[in-house]
Amino acid sequence: MAAEDQAPRTEPRPDKAKKRKKPKKDKWGQPLSAASPEVEPSVEPAQEPPAKGVAPAAGAEAAAAPEGYEPSKVVASGLPYTTTEADIRKLFEFYGPLGSVQLSRFPDSGNFRGLAFVCFESDEDAVKSLELDGFKIGNRYMRVERCRVTASSNKKRKTEFQSDPEKSLGCLSAYVGNLSWNVTEKDLRDFFKSSKIASIRFAIDKSTGGSRGFCHVDFQDDESLEKAVAMNQSELQGRPVKVAYSVSNRG
């Protein structure tokens, strides 16, 4: 048979897609990236934190405006109830040194309620940590935002930083402020162990049911009150505690 009569060679079809190599994935099922940081929170997320030094996500610069926000402080919400303070620290310390981590808890059970306040040593690091907004932990997406200054916190600041009130006649109560949200009655009794305490009245946020960060302590005698007030600015759970004579309209 002549060469011309032979069947033509079949050319590869141009629309046939080439087989692609499957990308390598990490233990969470996400594609490996050379820029991925070496951070592995103990609560296993579905993605890695953004690489350090990467520009903040859209909207982060607007949120960095200091007016109306607590300096160097962010609030993380939507966390799994099984998250621990160590988990939160390991995740946020990637962006810079932390000052404190406060876990909000249910007042009846004391269990973590999925809300945490994270204080950095610098406001710049706090702004960088906003990149974690939308980060997935377990089956939940965490929300991270600047901590707003509320009317109650403004009122508390005025109370704490103005001159201390004078002791009123017959006063046996003290105002105790700048408390961590997870401070318990036992913690306070241990803190004022040299004084005789009659009762402790925590200020409760009506909307959340959690502590507002201050309380009033009633003492059994004047000597106990004076010992307590002398402990003003002593440290409890890493925070300097404000202790002052209670005024009658708050008592």
- State yes or no: pLDDT of 62 exceeds 50: no
- State yes or no: pLDDT of 26 exceeds 50: no
- State yes or no: pLDDT of 42 exceeds 50: no
151-245 has which fold? Alpha-Beta Plaits (3.30.70)
Q: Does domain 60-148 have CATH number 3.30.70.330?
A: yes
Give yes or no for a contact between 118 and 85, defined as CB atoms under 8 angstroms apart: no
CA atoms within 13 A on the CB side of 79: 26
Q: Computed from CA positions of residues 127, 130, 131, 137, in that sequence, does the dihedral angle turn out positive or negative?
A: positive
> In the sheet that 98-105 helps form, which strands lie side by side, from edge to edge?
98-105, 112-120, 69-77, 143-148
CATH 3.30.70.330 residue window(s) in the chain: 60-148, 151-245
Averaging pLDDT over each range in 5-19, 63-77, 129-143, which range is the top one?
129-143
Q: Whole-angstrom Cα distance, residue 236 to residue 111?
A: 20
Q: Whole-angstrom Cα distance, residue 210 to residue 102?
A: 12
Per-residue confidence (pLDDT) for residue 185, from 0 to 100: 92
Whether the full predicted model's pTM is greater than 0.75, yes or no, is no
Give yes or no for a contact between 186 and 208, defined as CB atoms under 8 angstroms apart: no
Per-residue confidence (pLDDT) for residue 222, from 0 to 100: 93
- What type of residue sits at position 122? S
